[in-house]
Amino acid sequence: MRAWRALKAKGCAVLRDGIYLLPYTDEREDGLRDVANGIIESGGAAHLLRAPSLDASQDAEFRTLFDRSDDYANFIRTLADARKTISGQSAADLTRLLRRLRKDHETIRAIDYFPNDAATRADVAWQEFVALVDTVLSPGEPHRAEGSIRRLSRDEYQRRTWATRQRLWVDRVASAWLIRRFIDPQARFVWLPSPDACPPDALGFDFDGAAFTHVGERVTFEVLVASFGLEEDAALLRLGEMVHALDVGGASVPEAIGFEAVMAGARQRASDDDQLLDEIGRVLDSIYAHFATGTKNNNAGSRS
């Protein structure tokens, strides 16, 4: 049963009872070898063979055994059902829902060795679902702007008023922390009910038309890091990867899930955005220290 579960998790096709197939790569062969060794160690028998297709027709026949269309169709139906439950859910519940469905999507994609139109439809449905949740968690999420990022002097951005949308979420709270911690220690923040309410003398961030917002593939936190010449701080770059993954997706960062859970819980407890920034600011201080220590250890190891 343990071997069967392992084969199923790897997305093996069943040619007939007891005969399982995977498209060849060195990594997949190593995985199957581990399963075979486990079977043999348990007193069973297993044989690992390479079996090239005889011709294009047989190759096409084998590929059909890996069709994930039904899995994607079920996933799309799950998204449709989840849409009906979004309204009224707390931020913590929504983040748990998003995390669970993201894992479901990634599980299918990981074993979809020959993606087709079904994969594309599922990707579109998933992106639409994520966008819908974002409108609940973070209303007014900015669109990506094109252009270059101009290098700015921190000396010219001291004791300023900074403004962003109220009900802070990941990119905004991390950007506010970055501003106060590394750019403008005496910064004053205004939390806007709408971007249109931004005072004319305030520096807006993380909304369309703001002085600092998404540029290209970079989220607002990353744009601020680049704008004020903070890229040499490896710990800030790691924080940027975490914020990026949580805000728009991308390569996973191990600390991201924990931070997202803390953020959702703190948002429920905080009476206002000032309190939320103070509480999450301490969390970001700790994560930054963790990243900084890891960076120093890696550098020391590379010099030894």
For residue 189, list its beta bridge partners: 162
pLDDT class for 191, splitting at 50, 70, 90? very high
CB 141 within 8 A of CB 134: yes
Mean pLDDT in residue range 194-222:
93
- What is the per-residue pLDDT across 62-121, written as a single tens digit (0 to 9) for each? 999 999 999 999 999 999 999 988 877 887 888 889 889 999 999 999 999 999 999 999
Output the CA angle 77-80-81, nearest 5 degrees: 90
Instruction: Report phi then psi at 95, rounded to 5.
Output: -65, -35
- What is the per-residue pLDDT across 222-232, written as a single tens digit (0 to 9) for each? 999 999 999 99
Instruction: Report phi then psi at 239, rounded to 5.
Output: -60, -40
Position 130 scores a pLDDT of 82
User: In whole numbers, what is the pLDDT of the chain averaged over residues?
Assistant: 90
